[in-house]
Amino acid sequence: MNVGTVAVKELRQVMRDPRTMLVILGMPALLLLFYGYVLSFDVKHVGLAVLDRDHTPQSRSLVETLCSQEYFDLIEELKAESEVLPTLVSGRATLVLVIPHGFGQDTTTGQAPALQALIDGSNATMAETAQDYAEAFVASHGARLETLRAAEPVPPPLSMRFHVLYNPDLSSTRFLLPGLMGFILMITCTVATALSVVRERETGTMEQLSVSPLSPWEIVAGKAIPYGALAMVAAGLVMGVARFAFGLRVAGDPAFLVFLLALFVAGAQGLGLLISTITSSQQVAFQVATYATMLPTLLLSGFIFPIRSMPVALQALTTIVPARYFIVALRGVVLKGVGPDVLWPQVLALVVFTSVTLGLSVVRLRRVRL
């Protein structure tokens, strides 16, 4: 037997295994298609809200210029200044444009009208890009006005004053750290608990649990509590490192932050336990848990890549990624200082995620015992 013989034999075995062929041939194309859509640093469809105090054709023309392409989406037209901060805090808009009184008159009399833009800096990538886009569009609009009045003295260009909230220096570290915490907790909690039931089955101790008087809920709780306690300690250490190494302060209620952490950790553990009940070995459980958490959390949670810039189909897919809701809530508490009155949709989504994963884990564990 030579190398060629071994190679031919291995090739025949591979070709007879459709799962291996799918991984070798289909997975690269699928990943390329997936990454090609997601891995893009082009930020589009930035949420824009406008407070128009002028209500003239000139002010409406400016808004139309900003929304003429796919970079800005007009989310809301505000009626009063009191609506500006709630719009930014809720995350509905990334940039709020304030058009002052007299804007239309200034543009026709050769004055230099000054616009104001308030930006949500909790997402540094989106905020910086929104600022660049706004500057470019306003400059383009000002140049177009000058062209229309070529026979008249050229007025000064439009100007815009930017105010970045929640992350004034647009530090990428402040933006990434909350997302990184969600990424780490999702993977570690899910993988650690995914190995628990499988380990019991491989070591033969699952039979002892099966004949014990413990209910499936008690078994799930007994397995989840130690890992959950360790995960909460790890989360505390991560927050400590973020505070002393990077200067990241928690702007919101620490008790609400702990509640969010506990809720998310419990849901991740439920997912890990569910995986452990449907896999046959620790190796398979580890692989399934890694694939189910790492790529979705990294690419589809808004951790790095803005969800609004993704294709509509992928935006719909992100709705089943629990880290998406946790990262939004975490950034809201840590950077914006908001509470459950604003973040209740994210809390509700995490409650559903935790309830579903833990409930399915109990059902599956009951079948495993039977």
Q: Per residue in 194-238, pLDDT tens? A: 877 777 677 766 666 666 676 777 777 777 777 778 878 888 888
Whole-number pLDDT of residue 370: 47
- Tell me how far apart the alpha carbons of residues 156 and 160 are, in angstroms, rounded to a whole number: 12
Whole-number pLDDT of residue 37: 56
- Tell me how far apart the alpha carbons of residues 308 and 285 are, in angstroms, rounded to a whole number: 33
pLDDT in tens, 163-202: 777 777 666 667 777 888 888 888 888 888 887 777 767 7
Beta-carbon contacts of residue 222 (< 8 Å; ≥ 6 apart): 214
CA angle, corner 176, sides to 124 and 118, nearest 5?
Answer: 20
Whole-number pLDDT of residue 157: 57
Of the two residues 349 and 335, the one the predictor is more confident about is 349
Whole-number pLDDT of residue 92: 86
pLDDT in tens, 255-277: 999 999 999 989 998 898 888 88
Mean pLDDT over 79-83 rounds to 88
pLDDT in tens, 124-162: 777 877 888 788 777 777 666 666 555 455 455 566 777
Whole-number pLDDT of residue 115: 83
Question: Coil, helix or strand for 98?
Answer: strand
Of the two residues 3 and 296, the one the predictor is more confident about is 296
- Tell me how far apart the alpha carbons of residues 278 and 90 are, in angstroms, rounded to a whole number: 39
* E strand or H helix that includes residue 126: helix 124-148
pLDDT in tens, 33-77: 555 455 555 677 888 999 998 888 888 888 888 888 888 888 889
pLDDT in tens, 24-38: 556 555 654 555 455
DSSP 311-339: -HHHHHHGGG-HHHHHHHHHHIIIII---
The pTM of the whole model exceeds 0.75: no
pLDDT mean across residues, the chain: 78
Whole-number pLDDT of residue 205: 62
Whole-number pLDDT of residue 147: 60
- Tell me how far apart the alpha carbons of residues 272 and 186 are, in angstroms, rounded to a whole number: 10
pLDDT in tens, 296-340: 888 888 887 788 878 888 889 999 999 999 999 998 998 888 999
Whole-number pLDDT of residue 257: 92
